[in-house]
Structure 1
Amino acid sequence: MARATALEKSRSHDRIVHQASLLFRENGIEATGLSEIMKAAGMTHGGFYRHFKSKHALVAAALTYAITAAVSDMAEAETAADKRAALGRYVALYLSPEHVQNRAQGCPLAAMQSELAHQPPELQKPLEDGVAHVLAVLAAVIGGPAAAPKAQALLAHLMGAVSLARLSPPNVETETFLQAARKTAAEIIA
């Protein structure tokens, strides 16, 4: 049997991380098994340990991937106007009914916040680094002397609004939370 090339192995690794990030957000870390992730990636369970030492290593990689992807438009925008436009899209998407209803495609912090708080120490560093990355990107886009506190307030506000909207009866208070959150988010980043 021919060995996989480095490029094939890298692509397989990326597929596993991507599928894991979706499944962990949708179902939770504990409720998502390695077999399910590998099947979604189009691979067999036996190949997992060629890519990762443990499930926790995969969780760390998937968390880092999902957090980085969530703010990539803002981080990669070149001009101040493009960064502000990307921030506007980020807030609009974050505070949308689609984000509330579709955990798999949304913010990993909002989707897994309660579960992440109970993970072992080896996942605390990737989590802390991820939050720091999001805050740094938000602060860089917001700019000004109060950028860091505004970034913290914005992230806390966004996560709180989505959490409350997810706890609300469908289509009743969800839009109320989201509308109020949009208004306050606009004030924070003004």
Structure 2
Amino acid sequence: MNLYPLGKALCTAVLKPFYRIKVIGQENFPKEQGVLLCTNHIDNLDPPVVGLTAPRPVHFMAKEELFQLPVLKAVLPNVNAFPVKRGLSDRQAIRKALELLRSGQVVGMFPEGTRSKTGELGKGLTGAGFFALKGDALVMPCAIIGPYRPFKQLKVVYGEPIDMTPMRERKASAEEATEAIMDAIQMLIEKNS
């Protein structure tokens, strides 16, 4: 049973007024085709906040440990999340993400791999670059500009999509692609902070 529309409505009703969420650049979001949505990670609430502000349903890669928790293991698969084993080459998660991207869906990921303790953008992991190059999709940089404080404005900024075709054609490395994605996110943070 897909609970995504219900989850989005609930999160919008609760989180949007509580954090005074302001969305910038939503018109940049591609209306169709596969999209790899890459976002900085500053809080546990980032996935629902991105989910409620993105104009299309987002399939999030989530660390496998979350699928072991009693309530979350029932909810997560029904809100388009799928597990990934961190620190390993998880073939099943890789296959699932590529399949979603190639079928025109939106896959959300946090290239840093974990939450930033300082709020500063950390180093991106090469997985983001790998999916950007192999997924045959546009890359959508997104910046969450906080911190999360009740009734203080939180911004979610969507940048211009990055066309990875030139990088694919010259067989760029996953590291180089990840750097380009992280640079785009950093620019959004600097421009909108």
Higher strand proportion (structure 1 or 2): 2
RCO higher in 1 or 2 (8 Å CA, sep ≥ 6)? 2
With normalisation by structure 2, the TM-score equals 0.31
Q: Larger radius of gyration, structure 1 or 2? A: 1
Higher helix proportion (structure 1 or 2): 1
